[in-house]
A and B are shown apart, each in its own frame.
Chain A
Amino acid sequence: MPDFYSFMRSPSALGRVGVAGAWLAVGTFTAVTFLIPLALVISQSLSHPIAANYVAVLRSSATRVVELRTLQLGVIVTAICVIIGYPAAYALTRLRPFWRSAAIAAIVLPFLTSYLVRTYGWIAILGVNGPLARLGSLLGSPSGSLNGTLPGLIVAMTHMLLPLMILPVFAAMNTIDKRQLQACSSLGAKPSEAFLCVYFPQTVPGLATGVVLVFVASLGFFVTPALIGGFSGTTIAQIIFSFVNELFDFGRASSLGVLLLLVVGALFLIASRFVDLAAVFGIKERLASARRQRSRRKLRSSAAVMLLARVTSRTPLADRIGLLAGSFLAAALFILILPLVYVVLVSFQPLRLLELPTASFSLTWYRQVLSRPEWFDAARNSLVVALSATTISVVVGFFLASRAMASAGIARVAIFAVAIGPLAIPHIVLALGIYGTFLRLDLTGRLWSLALAHAIVALPYAFVNIANGLATYDRQLDRAASSLGARPFASFRRVKLPVLRTSLLTACALAFLVSLDELLITLLIAGPALPTLPVRMWASATSNISPELAVVGTLLVMVASTVFVLTKLAGLGRSGKAIARGSVLQLTMSEAR
């Protein structure tokens, strides 16, 4: 019988104790911040009689209008994203490597920048003094401000969600061997037939991914509709927020949340017919290792497709596909970059009205911001929370990703569900659950509990990147290190961590930026007592839209670009270009808020 001392010395026993301890910590963390909140939302939605809340939110004409409008908005925005995003992604595949990287950077960078900042940019663009209104009055049809109108909201939301469409579609297109189209041509297929019968079917998983991500994100959207939508653009997320924040009505808020969950769940169920759900979130490793891929042959060679191909091949458009796609890409890039440029320009002009173009350059608003300590307090809070949340989410993400890679079957699916779940459910539902849970556990209004909440929001981003790093990690390296005499810890520190450096850095960068931009949960559980930058900006944006916001926004754009460039540079380092390209594609994951 081994005595206790030798039991502890034996590496496998020590390892087992360590793993058990880690499971306990990670389990508690995910339970408090994700599983219990989710369960709470479901249980709170039920009442006496059991479905009273549901009846209330479905019967009331006010909420029903909002529900329908949210769905309608989602459908419209998704459709526009498909129409612009698909050709734009195609044009992206035809660019030379340098320009392609530049274009991807231009797509990813806005995506990494604060939602509030970009919404603010759109407010300025759409406003009375913005370029659109001026163009209107120049042409003799003064339209006034587009803020508070549905078209304005749709443009802004398209801007927010377009990257979620372009990037996965591009990833799918990029894996298609160009010689396949040459083969089609040599076999006698016209370009349009080749596209419809060979090219398009292979892009369906990417397209399905894009549609799901855009639609799910649009359902939970809060910031943009609240600031731009006006009364005509109220969405479910806002109603849920005001139910809990103003009326303290958790029952009806939760029942709306559950309805959202049901719609999202149905959507994922449909999407899973076209694409592995792990792939939706950018994970290279498949969820179910040996699952039979449901065939998507319906589109393949049916008579209708051939007819369509024949008809389209006669249209003059068929010859100009490249040019056409290129102009869609240009339009997409314009929509994506415009608000960032606008925010930076506004911050350097002296007037209170967000007026552009202006000849004068001024640092007035920078001086104003620097003279106000509340911005510094907010920045400090944000930094502390973001750094803690990054640390927690990367450590937990690493642990879960390692366990997911080592397990199979139901355990693997469960780990994926917990690690990806916070991203897959609408952000407002997560916020609602966390708020309720933290209220009961008396965790609100504290910096460390805020960091925990941010960590669960950032966890999926960390998890996906680390899981992808581990999926390509050569496990022989561990064996090699061990055979050469390295103990497990030495092997981990000297081989595994350095080899996974790029993935870890990307994970840290994304987790940091996500936490830096988190608004909803922070508003609910920290509120004015612990203002972070987004909370301060939110207050400023809802009360008086001052160019101070543009200054803070410009600084945040700079932070995001710096983090982005640093991550890219670190990835480029010694480990070769392939990894850096991978890390950009890993940014294709969704942002469901």
Chain B
Amino acid sequence: MTALSLPRPGPEVQFGSHSGGAEADAARQGGRLSLRSICKNYGPVRALDGVSLEVEGGEFVALLGPSGCGKTTLLNTIAGFVEADSGSVEINGQVVSRSTPPYLRNLGVVFQNYALFPNMTVGRNIAFPLEVRRLPPTQLDGLVERALAMVDLSHLRGRFPHELSGGQQQRVALARALVYSPPVLLLDEPLGALDRRLRDAMQAELKDLHRRVGTTFVYVTHDQDEALAMADRVVVMRNGAVEQHGTPLELYEKPVNRFVAKFVGECNVLSGTWITNGGTRILMNYASSAVLHQRSADSSVASSSVAIRPEWLHVAGLDEPSVNGRQHLTCHVLQTRFHGSETLLTLASPAGDLLARVPHRRRSELDLSAHLVNVWWDPGETVLLSDEPAPEAAS
């Protein structure tokens, strides 16, 4: 019923108001998106398990997770391609009925393979959403031109999609989905089909585009680099549920569990046993007698594992004085991988294998010819992870 009461976006909707470029205007334009406990089952498989999410107007949110985590299903329920079993989607406070078809939702969608219409030129592709909205041709032309200018493709207006490079097709897809100024733009792994170098360039471009148009972006990806680099907020999903959401910095520095720690950036996870030593409680790894974490005795925690990012590990040669009586582990160097600005070391320690990241400057001081190094960390810096019922090797 609500589907029918929702007005179809017509010419009365303001088109192209993002062209002014005013930042204040931009903030107003992005739509607020609320998801309330959305569930979706495919037969016995629970694809979405009560997902709730609030997205502020103009925010850039990334849905991050391994394949099969439900992120694309979630995007499809927002877009209307998939009808949720229960739960609700609200845009700017207005409920969108579950059965509202996509063409009445007025949302923008960018597909992984772009889904440009092969039978239409670039210009016709971009004009398509305006034509089906019965926009007068006079108005239409200017909007298409502005959308093309926005993605810097004005010179390719008459080309067909198959005559464009992957990056250009990507930009046409963006222009097509933004030309009618939808309140929310949904992007389904839009950079997945591009090669590495182009992907980096498009990341910068997308972020810039988001800043300019101010539309709310919901971006699905399995690539954590992409999510961390572009999004204001990252939502990590697994098994149809949200594991953690927060700013990229929060996720990186304070992952709540092993899954998030491993999925967002590389991470060493070590576990130990709590012992109380005077005023402090210490998490001790018995195999190596290393202190993993310490905190005051009055705080109670059930968890017994910590996350240590590779760059939190200090690495020193055996004869270096910097160890200075600190508690340390002597490790065997199993493998070194040179990445230019940094070097990754795989180390065999008494506590298990460790991954360490050494910046280039430090690496040049380090003598790796002995294949033995000393490693230590600050027990105050490590992050306690909540214990999980079933530690899966999902990452």
Contact = CB atoms under 8 A, between A and B. Distances in A.
A495 B124 CA distance: 11
Interface stretch (B112-120, B192-200, B263-271, B342-350): B112-120
Interface string A460-482: 00000000000000101101111
Given A484-B176, A574-B160, A499 B132 contact: no
B131 to A, nearest CB: 8
B19 to A, nearest CB: 19
A484 B177 contact: yes
B117 A499 contact: yes
Given A477-B117, A483-B102, A485-B9, 6 more contacts: A476-B115, A486-B129, A486-B132, A494-B117, A494-B132, A576-B162
A407 to B, nearest CB: 17
B108 interface: yes
Interface size grouping (class) on chain B = 20 to 34
Given A484-B128, A575-B119, A479 B111 contact: yes
A487 interface: yes
A487 B4 contact: no
27 contacts: A9-B4, A476-B115, A477-B115, A479-B79, A479-B102, A480-B117, A482-B80, A482-B81, A482-B102, A483-B108, A483-B177, A484-B109, A484-B128, A484-B129, A484-B177, A485-B9, A485-B129, A485-B133, A486-B132, A488-B103, A491-B103, A494-B128, A494-B132, A499-B117, A501-B119, A575-B118, A575-B119
A372 to B, nearest CB: 46
Nearest to A9: B4
A498 B115 contact: no
Contacts, number: 88
Interface in B1-51: 1, 3-4, 8-9
A499 B119 contact: yes
A504 B4 CA distance: 35
B257 interface: no
B101 interface: yes
A483 B4 contact: no
A71 B8 CA distance: 66
A6 interface: yes
A483 B81 CA distance: 9
A474 B162 CA distance: 14
Contacts of B79: 479, 483
B128 A481 contact: yes
Secondary structure at the B interface, as helix, strand, loop or mixed, is loop
A2 B128 contact: no
B119 A11 contact: no
Given A10-B99, A476-B113, A484 B132 contact: yes
Interface string A370-405: 000000000000000000000000000000000000
A490 interface: yes
A10 B99 CA distance: 9
B113 A11 contact: no
A495 B120 CA distance: 9
B4 A574 contact: no
A12 interface: yes
Contact of A476 (B103, B111, B120, B180): B111
B106 interface: yes
Contacts of A6: 1, 4
B119 A487 contact: no
Contacts of A574: 119, 160
Interface in B120-176: 120, 128-129, 132-133, 160, 162, 176
B129 to A, nearest CB: 4
Interface of A: 2, 6, 9-12, 474, 476-477, 479-488, 490-491, 494-495, 498-499, 501, 574-576
B107 interface: yes
Nearest to B101: A11
A484 B107 CA distance: 7
Nearest to B81: A479
A480 B111 contact: yes
Contacts of B8: 485
Nearest to B128: A484
Contacts of A11: 101
B219 to A, nearest CB: 15
A101 to B, nearest CB: 20
B42 to A, nearest CB: 14
Contact of A486 (B81, B103, B113, B115): B103
B109, B119, B160, B176: most-surrounded residue (chain A CB, <10 A): B119
Contacts of B99: 10, 12
B318 to A, nearest CB: 49
B381 to A, nearest CB: 45
Secondary structure at the A interface, as helix, strand, loop or mixed, is helix
B220 to A, nearest CB: 14
A253 B176 CA distance: 63
Interface of B: 1, 3-4, 8-9, 79-81, 99, 101-103, 105-109, 111, 113, 115-120, 128-129, 132-133, 160, 162, 176-177, 180
A9 B101 CA distance: 12
A518 B180 CA distance: 53
Contacts of A491: 103
A12 to B, nearest CB: 7
Nearest to A487: B103
Contacts of B81: 479, 482-483
Nearest to A478: B115
Contacts of A477: 115, 117
A577 to B, nearest CB: 11
Given A474-B115, A477-B117, A482-B103, A487 B109 contact: no
Contact of A498 (B119, B132, B133, B177): B119
Q: Across chains A and B, which 10 residue pairs bring their CB atoms closest together, nearest first? A: A480-B115, A484-B129, A498-B119, A483-B109, A482-B102, A476-B115, A486-B132, A482-B103, A483-B102, A485-B132
B103 A483 contact: yes
A486 B176 CA distance: 13
Contacts of A576: 162
Contacts of B128: 481, 484, 486, 494
B115 A487 contact: no
A485 to B, nearest CB: 5
A483 B107 contact: yes
A479 B103 contact: no
B190 to A, nearest CB: 12
Contacts of A2: 1
Contacts of A12: 99, 101
A11 B101 CA distance: 8
A483 B184 CA distance: 12
A474 B160 CA distance: 17
Given A484-B176, A498-B119, A10 B3 contact: yes
B302 to A, nearest CB: 45
A367 B177 CA distance: 63
B25 to A, nearest CB: 23
A476 B107 CA distance: 16
A406 to B, nearest CB: 15
B74 to A, nearest CB: 15
Nearest to B104: A485
Contacts of B106: 485
Nearest to B188: A476
Contacts of A499: 117-119
Contacts of B129: 484-486
B132 A487 contact: yes
A574 B160 CA distance: 8
A490 B103 CA distance: 11
B264 to A, nearest CB: 29
A223 B8 CA distance: 61
Contacts of B132: 484-487, 490, 494
B117 A485 contact: no
A485 B104 CA distance: 6
